[in-house]
Amino acid sequence: MSGGKTIDKGLYLKRKFEAFPDKNTDAENCKMRNLKRQNKPLQQEKKLLSMNIEKVIAFIKHVKQLELH
């Protein structure tokens, strides 16, 4: 058989915590937490970049209008 099966998330988590009771940690101690922390600055950089691009486009339009006059 090929292809993935749909996993019942509730059942998966129940079995996970039954099999690994010592692994119940909070989100701050999770390994994936570092990725979430890195993602926020990346989103801020993207936002700043898009704002700068909009400013450059507005400046170019302004210069073109000045050239027409």
- Per the model's pLDDT, the better-predicted residue between 6 and 55 turns out to be 55
Is residue 57 pLDDT above 90, yes or no?
A: yes
pLDDT of residue 39: 74
Report the distance separating Cα 53 and Cα 61, nearest Å: 12
Residue 4 lies in a domain: no
Per-residue CA distances from 9 to 4, 15, 29, 63, 65 (Å): 14, 10, 21, 56, 58
pLDDT score of 59 more than 90 = yes
Name the residue range of residue 16's domain: 9-68
Evaluate whether residue 2 is within a structural domain: no
Closest among 37, 33, 34, 14 to 24, alpha carbons compared: 14
Distances in whole angstroms, Cα of residue 1 to Cα of each of 4, 5, 6, 16, 53: 9, 10, 14, 25, 50
As for how many domains the chain has, the answer is 1
Q: What is the pLDDT of residue 41?
A: 79
For the segment 25-48, the average pLDDT, to the nearest whole number, is 70
The predicted model scores a pTM of 0.42
Asked if residue 3 is part of any domain, the answer here is no
